[in-house]
Structure 1
Amino acid sequence: TLGVRYSVYSRIAVPDREIVPIELEINGHKRKIMLKISRDGRGNIVNVKPEYESVKEVAHELGISLREVLNIVYRTIDRITQSKSQDNKLQT
């Protein structure tokens, strides 16, 4: 016999995506990293990710690992999003 699998998937289209720079200080050096910010239809941030080529370039320039730069970038993203969510809680 032949088995056939059937699956139904739901998909959310992200209507708005922008790329914005942030400036970070890494080991005493200021560098810009480009971030991809995805928003839903209501303008809420769905996802924030660093642009790979931007992170790779900074890691190469400073002679540190890609992972180290990514860790710094993600900590900065967390700090920014946490402060924004605290601001939103204060306004409501």
Structure 2
Amino acid sequence: NGQQMNETDVLFMNDRQQLHIESATDHHAGRYSCVAENKPGRAEKDLIVAVLKPPQMDNQHRIIELAENETVTLTCPINDPSVEIQWTKNGIPITTSNNLQ
């Protein structure tokens, strides 16, 4: 992001050929560049670090009571559109063609 980094959890290794990031967080995400120079010239390589996190949701169990023939919509809000959501009933995956019983 254009600012100098002074990290205690980032180490150079193998004659500065490797940059070791310990316990990556969002703070470490970004574009990293490795620049090598000598008298004949210069070479540069860019690497993008994206820190992925597991989906988060409210894990509180709820009991929903409704009368026979009532309609209910169950929700599982996730703020990450790349997450794949799978519903199950009693441990059995639900597909749109299943008739729940």
TM-score by length of 2: 0.27
Between structure 1 and structure 2, the one with the greater Rg is: 2
Structure with the higher helix share, 1 or 2: 1
Tell me: higher relative CO, structure 1 or 2? Use CA pairs within 8 A at least 6 residues apart. Answer: 1
TM-score by length of 1: 0.28
